[in-house]
Amino acid sequence: MIFKKIVCVLILAFSLPFCSAAQNLSLIDYKSELGGHIGKTTYFGQIGGGTNTLRNTFGIYYRKALYKRFTISLNYEYLPLGANDSLSKNMEIQQRGFNFYRTFHEISFSLEYFFKSKNPYQYKMSKINPYIAIGMGYILNLPTDHNNFKSYDYNYVKQVDQFFPITTIPMHIGIQYAYQHNLLFFSEINFRFTSSDLIDHFGNAEPEKTKYGIFMPTNLGNDKFISFKIGFSKIIESQY
């Protein structure tokens, strides 16, 4: 229910800048950016006992100015997620011995607010421009899906589990640095809520039977993960 409310709020938030922009087309200098980034990502879920494993991630994005300080971006990110009970400091979790590793691909839209103007024709703007954003996306698991505890009675069930898209709510905060008029560098932290408690295949209060015993997941809610990024973008300018 809470997840559905968040989705409704996001739809409303996305619509407001578009309405404002539509009323002021003749007054706005539009611009866009094309960029890329690299970084690290880590997962928070049932496996690993709170000991986080950092994985390398990368991605690209296209950003379009909407109105004054508002922008919207289309993002792709490669997201390898994994964890291992053997790294936990909790002896019971170590003895359980679960591990998983999956590679995800995320496509998302983000609505962003920059604290200083994004208008390239006002380029007395500060070289440093912090921003915040919220969005909506989907992640798809391809091709790697490995774990040492989950078994399937039927192969098609495994395929559905692997290929079924998971909704994400990305929320990020970052800072952009204008190195030149049309070249920007940035650093960003991106926190994602997800619609699934089974990114690690262990959740939804379903016990897992292994040769070492029967294990019940704790009630931690849906899985989450964080990305830390650095990158650059090239500004593409146009005026209507």
Question: pLDDT digit string (tens) for 49-80?
Answer: 777 789 999 999 999 988 778 999 999 999 99
Q: How far is CA 125 from the centre of its chain?
A: 29
SS3 for 22?
helix
Residue 94, Cβ neighbours under 10 Å: how many? Answer: 14
Domains of the chain: 2-237 (2.40.160.20)
- Chain mean pLDDT for the chain: 82
Pair 110, 73: CB distance under 8 Å: yes
pTM (predicted TM-score): 0.81
CA 123, 124, 129, 134 dihedral sign is negative
Burial 198-209 (b: 16+ CB within 10 A, else e): bbbbbbeeeebe
pLDDT average, residue stretch 190-195: 95
Which H or E element spans position 148?
none
Q: One-letter amino acid identity for 228?
A: F
Pair 78, 56: CB distance under 8 Å: no
SS3 for 155?
helix
Give percent above pLDDT 90 in the chain: 47
Whether the per-residue pLDDT at 28 is higher than 90: the answer is no
pLDDT average, residue stretch 176-205: 89
